[in-house]
Structures are given as C-alpha cells and as structure tokens.
Chain A
Amino acid sequence: MNLDAKIPEGPLAQKWASHKFNMKLVNPSNRRKYSVIVVGSGLAGGAAAASLAEQGYNVSCFCYQDSPRRAHSIAAQGGINASKNYQNDGDSVHRLFYDTVKGGDYRAREANVYRLAEVSSDIIDQCVANGVPFAREYGGLLANRSFGGAQVSRTFYARGQTGQQLLLGAYSALSRQIGLGKVKMYNRHEMLDLVKVDGHAKGIIVRNMVTGEVTSHAADCVVIATGGYGNVFFLSTNAQGCNVTAAYRAHKQGAGFANPCYTQIHPTCIPVHGDKQSKLTLMSESLRNDGRIWAPKLAEDALKIRNGVLDPNSLSDDNRDYFLERKYPSFGNLAPRDISSRAAKEACDEGRGVASTGLGVFLDFRDAIQREGKKAIEERYGNLFDMYQCITGDNPYVTPMMIFPAVHYTMGGLWVDYNLESTIPGMFVGGEANFSDHGANRLGASALMQGLSDGYFVLPYTVGNYLGEQGVHSAGKVTNEHQAFAEAENRVKARIDKLQSINGSESPRSFHKRLGNIIWEYCGMARSEEGLTTAIEKIKELRKDFWSNLRVVGEAGNINPELERAGRVADFIEFGELMCRDALMREESCGGHFRIEHQTEEGEALRDDENFTFTGVWEYMGDDIDPRLHKEELIYENVKLATRSYK
C-alpha cells in the first residue's frame, strides 16, 4: 500500500499556494465532458458537489435521506472556527494550526492542518455570501465567542444551530446547481459498493431505498463524504442512519483505513435512561462555563440518590466530590473533552455514579444561580435547560442536571493524501469520513471548519487536478456497461440475498445493540490489552452468530428498514473488529485513545512519541484474513511535540 502523502515542497505557509499553482487545470469547455460522483450531501459532500458543478463538471450526488438538507452536519450546535482575528486578540493562521495540532495530541499531518487553518477565513466569507445568518454585534459586525478552551475568540456561530445554518447554506448552493441541471441528485439511495476499473475508482453501486432496485453509476472519479462511524457504538449522538458502509466497502476495495481507534467521547450528554433508547443527546459544552461537575464522595450516598431516597440538593459540599476542580485546579470544569469524560467514567466505576443506571454525574448550576441570579443563567442557557427538561422531565433550575459522556465524533477514517485522495486512485474522501486533520482528538468547532474546507476549497481543486492528469481523452470513457459494474452489482445482490435468506430469529437492531455493548465496554473511554483481545473474540462470535441467526423480514423490492439496517450492521461488525485491532496495536495513550497500561502515576494519558508518531493504516486482506498494518510516519517540522497538561 502506497502511503505517499504527496506533501508539497516548500515552507509550510507556501505549500498550498504553490501546490495550487502546480496543479493541472481543465479548460472550462472541457469540464462538461467529465462527470463526478459525490456520495453524501453534508458539509463536505454538499459543498463539493455544488462547487464542482459551479466549475462546470457534471455531478451526481447521492444521499440516503429524502433530501440533501437532512445530512447530520445539520445537528452541530456550537460553531465554526476561523482565524479571522476579528477580535484583535492575537489569533492567526499559525495559531489555529498550532492549536489544532496540539489539540489532536500530535497525531495529525502538519501540512493538512495548516491548509485547514489557512482556508478557514475563506469559509466564513463564502458562508456569509451565501446567506448564513451568523450572530452579529449591534454595530453589524460578525460576533465571535471562545469555544472548547481556546484562548482566543475565533468561533463564529448562528445561535445554537450553526451546523444547520452552514448545511442549509451548502444545500442552497447545491439546490441552485440541481435547478440548473448541473447536479443530478439521488435521494434515498444508499451506496453499497465501489467500482474500480484498471485500479481507478470509476463508479458506485447503489440501492434505491424506495424501489429496492440496485443500479450502477459510472463517472470519471468518486468523492466519498459519508460521515463518521460513531454508530458502531449503537448509542451515540449521531443520526440514526449514520453508518460506515460506504467507507467500509471502499476499504474492502483497497482503500486504507486510518486510525479507526480514534473516537471522541463528548462529556456533556444526557445519560442513558433504559435499554430501549435509540440515541444520546448532546448538551452544549458551553454549560461547563457555569455548571460545576460533581459526584457524591461516598458510593452509599450515590446509591441513595439513585433510589430516590436522597435529594442531591441536600447533600452537603463536604460529601460532594467536584472531581474536575479537584484533579485539574487550573482548568477545572473546562478541562478538554477526553479528560473530562474519563474523569466522569472513573467516578461511576467507583460506584459513585447517579442517574437511574448509575451512569451519570451532576452538572450543577446551584452556585451560579446563587451568584448571578436565575435570570442571568436563563439568558445564557435557557434553551438548553428547556431541551434538557423536554427530554428528561427534570427542571435543571431546581434539580441538578445529570450528564454522562457519549460518542460524538470519529477522528479516524479513510486514509487520504494531501489531495484528499485515498489509496485508490480517483477516489477522494472529504469531511468526517477521512482521517486527515484532527489527529487523535478534535477540538470544538473544528468539524464544521474541516467539512467546508474540504468541500468548498480543497476538493474542487484536487479533483480537477486528478481529472486534468487523466487527460480529456479519458473523460466519460468508462460507462456502467463495463464488466466491472456487472460484477460489482452481482456482488451486492448476492449479499442482499444472503442477508435475507438466513431466516434466523434475531433482528438486526438486536445485533447492533450487542455490538455496541462490546465496543463501549472494551473500546470506549478506557482500553486495555486484555479487554481488546476479549472484544475481538466476542466480535468474531457475534459475526458468526449474525450470519447464522439473523432475521430480516419483508422483501427487498420495497422500502425495507430491516434490510437497510442489516446491511449496515454487517459492516459495523467487521469494522468494530478493525477498530479494536487498531486500539490494541496502539500501545500508548493519546487524545481520545486511552490505554490503561499507558498512563502517568496521576492517571494521565502517556504518549509514546518514539514509537507511535505515525498514522496506522489498515489494508483489507480478505474475509477471514487479518488486516495488514501500514504506517505513515508523521514528521513535525514546525511544531515541537510536548505533553498536553491541563493541571
């Protein structure tokens, strides 16, 4: 597997500019001869599809929802970072770059992160131009806030719905191109395989989720922007439909999968209430600015609170453990996501958890309300408190809010080079689906930035460069009449038949839950060699069980949510095993990956820069053959590796 990152020569700050100059251009009148497939319509996919169409390429865009406007980018709340330095507080491209590399615990590729910081300003300009109603000051200038522990105010936001507004911006640009006939939109279509011709990605196989029809689509190249794999945990803050299938099928066709073990667990989510729950809800991190996080000091008090015998308000401060303030006095309740999440888990592991399941800690606004008055708190967090009350039925002004960490984002993804091209030539990957920019941990308000950077400002150049290199004589040469499409279609159909013919007794959802339990238990916030080895065994058993005892009701030629879920769960099971293997291989703790064998005496993450400053990229070798690990060494020329400390 060739892991040449193709990082351009020259000083860091000039790499992107000189690379853009060196790229092949396609004559505007030739662009209409090429076609591009974009899978996914979120920030990365939607923006890429719109921008490529604006340039004159013929684009086909696919999404599984009933409209491209529903992609899960829409659910992001907090904001989007950009190094505009509108606040005159010392921000710069270099500072955003540095913060992102450090926040990622020195496991991201310098050149990519620098480019991300560089185009961040253009993203804000672009979004304002297409009508995103960002928050404004009274004087009419754009407002900013600081976010996720950053020391500068560089986050742009649109109330608590920044993701929605950015996505609708990209959607409106995409809609314009659909209206102009430059983008053909395929809603309710699910990508089930990638098609290669002579080693290059030339198309995809999709299933029409309404008619069940399986069809082939050919193009001159393929862009995958299908989001992250957080739903491998069953419960996550992802949308129900988010899945790894497109990425995993591409992986099976030869695309390297990088760092699957890097997952982000967000500390402030509403705790699980029972085994029938379908998803977890994120509460904005901003709550930690005023709320104090605690658990009872004694397990017996926690038990009494769980059983409803003890009112948490009546527990004196002496019997409360404000564990983040105790362990990290200088950052306190604002400690980074990975660290806060682990601390909450520890408290619960010690039997000091609250909520009905014992998996929760308090986020208490009592002191803030006493200090500043209920009105001030209501102004700041009113909508979040309402949302909490709507979901839990508790009034957080009176009863302390309960929170627990939940899976929120996945930093790992398909390996890409500087051009966002995977190890399969002609297959590009954007947004959360690729691994490129966040290293082992993503900072708040950086996901939206990366999705739009890839979609608006990187892929439109690098895809054009690839097409230019292939030459205009190649444009449109491969059609879906090619033998490779028929073979792939047969592969997909055979798999659907297989899923339906097992006729066992267990539902796809039930298998998904079982998988989620294994992953959460052994590959969640704290991982160990023993746990991961067990997990791999258990997942293998689960996989066997799945293929012998699955039950898919209904037929394939119609809307069939059971069949859709079965296909996705089948991929999640195989992928879950890969994730555990990656976590087992990475004998260090970094960012969202915490191995209990590798911690300091105080229980902090211990990186091993000497042996693990690399991206772990897995090559698929066959159904029952262990995957092969490849390494992309990470070279830091501009940032000095240091230990993250939040004490």
Chain B
Amino acid sequence: MNFTLRVWRQKDSVSRGELVEYKIQDVSEDSSFLEMLDILSENLVEDGKMPMAFDYDCREGICGMCSLTIDGIPHGPESGTTACQLHMRHFKDGQTITIEPWRAKPFPVVKDLIVDRSPLDKIIQSGGFITTRAGSATDANTHLIDKGTADYAMDAAACIGCGACVAACPNASAMLFTSAKVAHMNSLPQGKPEKHRRALAMVSTMDGEGFGGCTNIGECEAACPKNISLDVIAHLNRDYAIAQVKNFFKPSA
C-alpha cells in the first residue's frame, strides 16, 4: 500500500512546528500504524534526515505510551484501539493521512509527536492510591467484594493513562482519566476510608494542572482505547459533591 503522510515536525518545545509531507510506498496491510512510521523513519535515516520522534513501547495496546492524533482523532479511526494496534488494512491505498501529537494545553509538545503527560502522574500522586504499607495488609479474603463491584472496579481500572481523553476533549479536561481512578478505588472497600480526600485532592490537582472543566460532551469516551464509560464521571461528581458538603461542615475531613 502507498500513502501520503502529513506529519507534525517540531524541533523542540520552544520552536514552531509544521506539518511536513512524506510519501511512503510498499507498506504491508498487516503492518501496524507504528510499524509504518518505523519504515518512514528508516527511509529518512537512509537519506541522512532526522526520523520523527514519537512515543511507543509495548506495541500491544496496554502501556499507554503511544499518543498519535490520526486524521484528527486520538489513536485514529478504529474504536477501542490504540495507535499501536491499528493496522494499515483499515486505510485506503493512496490515502493521505495526517499525524499530529496530542493537542491539549496541559500536554506541551516536547518534540515532533511527543508530548509531556506528566500532569497525569501528578493527579495520581495527589490521591490516586490507597494508603497501605508493604507488610501491613490483612488476609486478601478479609474483605468480601461482590463480583459486580469487582467487575465495576476492574472496568474503571482498565485505564492505560494514555491521555487520549484529554486530547479528544474540546476543553482538554482530564475528567475521564481522573474519574476512572476515583471510581476504581472509591468503589472498593479498601478505598473507602480515603474516598472523600481522594476525590477532592485529585480534582484540585487536575484543575491546578490546567486541565479544563467537563461539560459532558463525551468525546473522551469515544476516543478511549479501553472503552471506559462516562459513568465513571458521574461517580466522581457524586463523591466530589458529598465530599464538598462534608468538607464545608467539617473542614478537617
């Protein structure tokens, strides 16, 4: 297959970027999108040019490192798929494809297609954990957790932290990401003691890092490669509201 690629090139975080056009030929339809970019990189290297910088690691859709906006859609047109699991057979021979980094203010471009997603880590650091020390745990079957709750927590915990939800959101909100973690931990008995602290702290960090507010547009759910449902946002909103009220009456909570 042959393609025309329009790829975002940007030397570093302070330089101006632009879309540069490349032709690529003889790509196998079994190649993944990133393997197609590997081939382009090798071609560029052969010409003595700098290959594109883009993030990737596991290439099996689980590490969350890859972060390409393909024809305007984070992770491309296939639903429930990361860019690394997207195969070229889903494109038309001769097609022009535009490849950009995540576009969101809290994720500045570092180089070409690489952005800085450390604000997501900061949200987790502020409350996305259950306080426990190695060695302090009780027997694993002490808390019985009904299957429905365990499944619900697992659905939310499937988030890979790629940031596609932020990139897809017109407000660059990180609500789906933040809510997924809150829903996962707040629904489990182990996570209950810190339920309110967690909701307040993570939302506060999210706001502080410059992510926008959520206006229930739903682009995040559509872009999520792990099909995380908007329901988790309702979960966070509920827990957050209760936490705010409790906080109002008892500021030390």
Contact = CB atoms under 8 A, between A and B. Distances in A.
Nearest to A138: B147
Contacts of B130: 129-131, 172
A638 interface: no
B42 A507 contact: yes
Given A128-B143, A140-B145, A165 B137 contact: no
Contacts, number: 222
A133 B154 contact: yes
B138 A239 contact: no
Interface residues of A, number: 81
Given A141-B144, A276-B39, A278-B38, A553 B48 contact: yes
Contacts of B133: 51, 54
Interface stretch (A67-75, A299-307, A530-538): A67-75
Contacts of B38: 276, 278, 509
A551 B45 contact: yes
Given A65-B65, A239-B63, A554-B50, A390 B154 contact: no
A194 interface: no
A50 B89 CA distance: 43
A175 B134 contact: no
B146 A131 contact: no
Interface in A152-191: 158-159, 161, 163-165, 168, 171-173, 175-176, 178-179, 185, 187
Contact of A239 (B50, B51, B59): B59
B30 interface: yes
Contacts of A84: 140
Q: Is the interface of B mostly helix, strand, loop or mixed?
A: loop
Contacts of B44: 553
Interface size, B (range): 35 or more
Interface string A395-425: 0000000000000000000000000000000
Contacts of B147: 136-138, 140
Given A65-B57, A74-B63, A84-B140, A176 B129 contact: yes
Contacts of B154: 133, 135, 158-159, 165
Nearest to B114: A559
Given A126-B132, A390-B85, A187 B146 contact: no
B57 A240 contact: yes
B115 to A, nearest CB: 9
A567 to B, nearest CB: 16
Contacts of A128: 137, 140, 143, 190
B46 to A, nearest CB: 7
A501 interface: no
Contacts of B53: 559-561
A129 B190 CA distance: 6
A196 B193 CA distance: 45
A433 to B, nearest CB: 17
Interface stretch (B92-100, B116-124, B215-223, B230-238): B116-124
Contacts of B124: 69, 171-172, 175
A487 interface: no
Contact of B63 (A75, A133, A141): A75
Contact of B136 (A67, A129, A140, A509): A129
A235 to B, nearest CB: 11
A274 B140 contact: no
Given A130-B132, A393-B87, A553 B51 contact: yes
B55 interface: yes
Nearest to A505: B46
Contacts of A124: 140
Contacts of B27: 276
Contacts of A178: 121, 125
A558 B53 CA distance: 10
Given A140-B145, A161-B62, A175-B121, A72 B57 contact: yes
A161 B225 CA distance: 15
B138 A241 contact: no
B101 interface: no
Nearest to B38: A278
Contact of B57 (A70, A122, A138, A281): A70
A281 B129 contact: no
A74 B153 CA distance: 18
Best-surrounded residue of A130, A131, A185 (most CB of chain B within 10 A): A131
A133 B39 contact: no
Interface of B: 11-12, 27-32, 34-35, 38-39, 41-42, 44-46, 48-51, 53, 55-60, 62-65, 81, 85, 87, 89, 110-111, 114, 116-118, 120-121, 124-126, 128-141, 143-147, 150, 153-154, 157-158, 160-161, 184-185, 188, 190-191
The 10 closest A-B pairs by CB, nearest first: A140-B144, A179-B125, A129-B137, A172-B129, A125-B137, A136-B150, A133-B153, A128-B140, A133-B154, A176-B129
23 contacts: A65-B57, A65-B65, A66-B65, A66-B116, A66-B118, A70-B58, A127-B140, A131-B129, A131-B190, A133-B150, A133-B188, A136-B146, A164-B62, A168-B157, A172-B128, A273-B28, A273-B30, A277-B35, A281-B59, A391-B30, A393-B29, A460-B134, A553-B51
